[in-house]
Amino acid sequence: MPTPTDLLQGTLDLLILQTLALEPMHGWGVAQRIQQVSRDVLQIGQGSLYPALYRLEYKGWIRSDWGNSENNRRAKFYRLTAAGRKRLETELETWDRLSAAIALVLGRVAEV
């Protein structure tokens, strides 16, 4: 069985950045949001979520602050930085190009 995370290894960063572009969020929230939006297709394993968050933070694309969660617990919130926003744009462009190309190859060109 192909695990979702395997498929998404390259695009996990993109998903996280996209999710955080809407609003600052904690790790749990990010995982839940991706799962919800993808209608449970994409389940992010914690084993890859946190290393990805750390990686993005070390690269300066997101930053973290401690704050209070909805149920008033101390949680670490991640938010996109300016550099991260720029990064997201280029990643999205790449993604569009790539998925269009793949669709072409597979002969599944959507009606444009």
21 neighbors 80 (Cβ within 8 angstroms): yes
Residue matched to tokens 């389940």: 43
Interface residues toward another protein, by CB under 8 A: 26-28, 45-47, 50-51, 54-55, 58-61, 69, 71, 73-76, 81-83
Measured from the CB of residue 16, what is the shortest distance to another protein in angstroms? 13
Where b means 16+ CB within 10 Å and e means fewer, 28-49 reads ebbbebbeeeeeeebebeeebb
Measured from the CB of residue 91, what is the shortest distance to another protein in angstroms? 15
| Nearest CB to another protein, comparing residues 40 and 111 | 40
Measured from the CB of residue 69, what is the shortest distance to another protein in angstroms? 7
